[in-house]
């Protein structure tokens, strides 16, 4: 067998630099920055549209640009009729992430810019994708629960319209503020698995719809975005804070993965946790559902003591979304409704300066051997 210098190998690509980006920096010491802005203050003050504009365009919008961008998104929310019809054809038990993945893929066929990977066309398609991912989630949810999709409300922002499209009620300002903050915290996270999947797909010069379809498919897994749905199941199983310690010790004793804990990059805490925890405490008081955050806090304390593992954003996002009135099956789709801004920004960046992403693998298979044909072939 021809010899080749044994390359360095890092399982799971841990610590590997797989590309450059100017969009987002994850600081392993519990920090996060979008385009040079610390996320913490911005997440609490900006609307999701402002953050999406920043991610896509590299700079914050001025007043006129902000209004225009918000209106452009609002104007693009309606789904093409056949896409809504497709949602009706899916079995009612289809998981909302599978509906979303199928919907994003189908949307591609209705976009007149489909095969144009230029910067301007990618921005136009990004606006449509950011607008319509939310609609696929809300309309898909209503259809699978035998309800009619509601008409869009272009006077509402993405966060406000998302509440409205699910429930038919215009939310209160504080609810919109909270959902904006959650969307802002989830909007990007550099080369996480779904974004990397999007960039790999985009690097073949497949279009942005193909890339976002790959990203949605990748986000669903419980080691990534699916963790925020699984975390809620776990909290419901624990039920009360006094049961948290024994529940967790049992899981650790049997070497089970505990959802909402651990992170590939953060080892000293997830930058998004403090804000999500704070929203959770506020919601606990507002809704009277005051058991969830204390359960999470107890789990955090025990996990730190027993395994030195820190909570990630999904642990707290789960009860936060539940207390805001969303069913747990929509936790990961809500993550997608926000992360689509990051995915699109990364596809734009990839296409603007593309090189095919094609790493090597380390061959660990059989030594070279002579081919003798299928055994017993002529018998």
Ligand X SMILES: CC(C)(COP(=O)(O)OP(=O)(O)OC[C@H]1O[C@@H](n2cnc3c(N)ncnc32)[C@H](O)[C@@H]1OP(=O)(O)O)[C@@H](O)C(=O)NCCC(=O)NCCS
What value, to the nearest 5°, has the Cα angle with vertex 59 and ends 198 and 349? 25
Annotated catalytic residue: which of 180, 188, 263, 270?
263
Report how far residue 30's alpha carbon sits from residue 316's, in angstroms, rounded to the nearest whole number.
16
Shortest Å distance, C-beta 257 to ligand X = 4
Q: Is 263 a catalytic residue?
A: yes
Residue 367 backbone dihedrals phi, psi, to 5 degrees: -60, 160
Residue 223 binds ligand X (CB under 6 A) = yes
Spell out, one character per residue from 292 to 321, where the chain touches ligand X: x when CB under 6 A holds, - when not: -----------------x--x-x-------
Residue 259 binds ligand X (CB under 6 A) = yes
* C-alpha distance from residue 277 to each of 45, 281, 312, 317 (Å): 17, 6, 11, 8
- Nearer to ligand X by C-beta: 48 or 261? 261
**Binding test (CB under 6 A) with ligand X, winner from 61, 96, 171, 260:** 260
Residue 280 binds ligand X (CB under 6 A) = no
Shortest Å distance, C-beta 192 to ligand X = 8
Residue 374 backbone dihedrals phi, psi, to 5 degrees: -65, 135
Report how far residue 101's alpha carbon sits from residue 106's, in angstroms, rounded to the nearest whole number.
9
Report how far residue 159's alpha carbon sits from residue 373's, in angstroms, rounded to the nearest whole number.
62
Q: Is 314 a catalytic residue?
A: yes
Q: What is the DSSP string of 195-208?
A: HHHHHHHHHTT--H
| Residue 131 and residue 145 in contact, taking contact as beta carbons nearer than 8 Å | no
Shortest Å distance, C-beta 268 to ligand X = 12
Q: Which of residues 7-26 bind ligand X (CB under 6 A)?
A: 12
Residue 159 binds ligand X (CB under 6 A) = no
Residues facing 25 on adjacent strands: 33
**Region near ligand X per CB under 6 A, out of 81-89, 208-216, 259-267, 341-349:** 259-267
- Nearer to ligand X by C-beta: 119 or 257? 257
**Region near ligand X per CB under 6 A, out of 24-32, 73-81, 148-156, 252-260:** 252-260
**Binding test (CB under 6 A) with ligand X, winner from 131, 136, 185, 258:** 258
- Kindly report the number of other CB atoms within 10 A of residue 319's CB atom: 27
Annotated catalytic residue: which of 111, 139, 180, 314?
314
Judging by DSSP bridges, how do beta strands 31-34 and 37-38 pair with one another?
A: antiparallel
Catalytic residue positions? Answer: 263, 314
Q: Which residues bind ligand X (CB under 6 A)?
A: 12, 223, 227, 257-264, 309, 312, 314
């Amino acid at each position: 067998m021809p010899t080749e210098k044994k390359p360095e190998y890092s399982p799971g690509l841990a610590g590997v630099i797989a590309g450059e980006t100017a969009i987002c920096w994850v600081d392993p010491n519990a920090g996060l920055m979008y385009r040079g802005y610390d996320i913490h203050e911005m997440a609490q003050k900006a609307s999701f549209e402002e953050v999406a504009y920043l991610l896509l365009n590299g700079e914050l919008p001025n007043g006129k640009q902000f209004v225009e961008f918000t209106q452009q998104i609002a104007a693009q929310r309606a789904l093409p009729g056949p896409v809504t019809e497709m949602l009706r054809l899916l079995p009612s038990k289809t998981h909302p992430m599978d509906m979303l993945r199928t919907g994003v893929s189908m949307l591609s066929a209705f976009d007149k810019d489909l095969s144009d990977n230029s910067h301007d066309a990618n921005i136009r398609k990004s606006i449509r994708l950011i607008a319509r991912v939310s609609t696929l989630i809300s309309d898909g949810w209503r259809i699978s629960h035998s309800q009619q999709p509601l008409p869009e409300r272009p006077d509402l922002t993405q966060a406000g319209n998302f509440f409205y499209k699910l429930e038919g009620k215009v939310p209160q300002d504080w609810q919109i503020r909270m959902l904006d903050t959650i969307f802002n915290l989830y909007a990007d996270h550099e080369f996480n698995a779904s974004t990397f999947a999007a960039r790999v797909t985009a690097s073949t010069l497949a279009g942005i719809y193909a890339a976002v379809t790959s990203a949605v498919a990748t986000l669903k897994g419980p080691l990534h975005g699916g963790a925020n749905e699984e975390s809620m199941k776990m909290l419901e199983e624990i039920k009360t804070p006094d049961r948290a310690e024994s529940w967790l010790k049992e899981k650790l004793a049997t070497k089970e993965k505990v959802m909402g804990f651990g992170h590939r990059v953060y080892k000293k805490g997830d930058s998004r946790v403090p804000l999500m925890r704070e929203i959770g405490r506020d919601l606990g008081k507002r809704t009277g559902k005051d058991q969830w955050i204390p359960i999470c806090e107890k789990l955090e304390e025990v996990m730190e003591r027993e395994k030195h593992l820190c909570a990630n954003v999904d642990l707290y996002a789960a009860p936060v979304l539940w207390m805001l009135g969303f069913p747990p099956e929509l936790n990961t789709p809500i993550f997608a409704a926000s992360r689509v801004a990051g995915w699109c920004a990364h596809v734009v960046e990839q296409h603007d300066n593309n090189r095919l992403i094609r790493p090597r693998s380390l061959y660990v298979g059989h030594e070279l051997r002579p081919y003798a044909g299928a055994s017993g072939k002529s018998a």
